[in-house]
Amino acid sequence: MSHAGSLGGKTILVTGAAGLGVGRGIVDAVLESGGRVVSVDVSAEAARHLASAHPQILSLVGDISIEEDVDRIFNEAHGQAGPIHGLVNNAGIGLNKPFYEVSGSEFDRVHGVDVRGTWLMCKDFSVRAMAESRGGAIVNISSVHAAATAPGYAVYAGAKAAVHGMTRGIAVDLGPHGIRCNAVGPGYVHAPQNVELIRSFTDEPEKWISEHINNFQLLNHVVEARDCGDTVAFLLSDAARSITGQTLLVDAGLTVALYNNSFTRRKS
């Protein structure tokens, strides 16, 4: 769990925070750590719902792939919440389709949000932080797909691999200004809505989830959104003041093993 008070006095802007899943886990972890949250989401309806559930959150609407929206978002955030001390680039678009079937517009949308949007948000945040000489911390949400992927995820994996590389480069550029930049790469994070997504490639989604957790993860428990949120809160905090340019995978060991558990574990 996040350490109470570790983000006390800090305002954290989180993109893609109004939906369910990893974004909500990040919001909960930041709030429990004493931080203030500025939420940004492309959906006005989701933003209203979040503001209703958490009145203490400043909930803004905007498309991070559009430069004018990004500038407006930071102006509104600063005007209503004051200086932004940390940025979490959680907003992203997934795509499961063989790369040779992906249209140009689909490719542009995935990379427009996952790569261009991340770059635009990091750029605006950093320029303002450097101008005020106040340092800060950035956490980009990547994915295990950046290093090892599955059929149909070539375009998405490419976008997340770009986030990995950009995270390292941003850390190099911003280090002299006291601004840190790291990434968190979730594995399979369970959420109720995932069942229908999994049903697109198997008739038994519940069985797939169970086999994934017990046969392919080294730690045989469900990875929850809050697990990712707690990792993000740590990287935003001063406890991580000497960590930059790194990617932490929150995947219960999914990407570490050479073989699945049924192949390597002795039967009792």
pLDDT value, residue 4: 63
- Please report which confidence band the pLDDT of residue 192 belongs to, taking 50, 70 and 90 as the band edges: confident
Check whether 5 has a pLDDT greater than 80: no
Q: Order of strands, edge to edge, in the sheet holding 11-15? A: 58-61, 36-41, 11-15, 86-89, 136-141, 179-186, 247-250
Check whether 268 has a pLDDT greater than 60: no
156 is catalytic: yes
- Please report which confidence band the pLDDT of residue 1 belongs to, taking 50, 70 and 90 as the band edges: low
% the chain with pLDDT above 90: 82
pLDDT in tens, 116-162: 999 999 999 999 999 998 899 999 999 999 999 999 999 999 999 99
Alpha carbons 118 and 115: distance in angstroms, whole number: 5
- With b meaning 16 or more CB within 10 Å and e meaning fewer, what string describes 22-45? bbbbbbbbbbbbbbbbbbbbbeee
% the chain with pLDDT above 70: 97
Check whether 2 has a pLDDT greater than 70: no
pLDDT value, residue 70: 98
pLDDT value, residue 198: 85
What type of residue is 246? Q
Q: Strands 136-141 and 86-89: what pairing? A: parallel
Question: What are the structural domains of the chain?
Answer: 11-191+224-252 (3.40.50.720)
Mean pLDDT of the chain: 93
pLDDT value, residue 267: 62
pLDDT value, residue 200: 77
231: which 2 tokens?
């990792």
pLDDT in tens, 149-163: 999 999 999 999 999
- Please report which confidence band the pLDDT of residue 10 belongs to, taking 50, 70 and 90 as the band edges: very high
Find out whether 233 and 90 touch, Cβ atoms under 8 Å: no
Among the options 100, 153, 156, 188, which is catalytic?
156
Name the nearest CA neighbour of 13 among 112, 120, 94.
Answer: 120
pLDDT value, residue 191: 80
pLDDT value, residue 203: 87
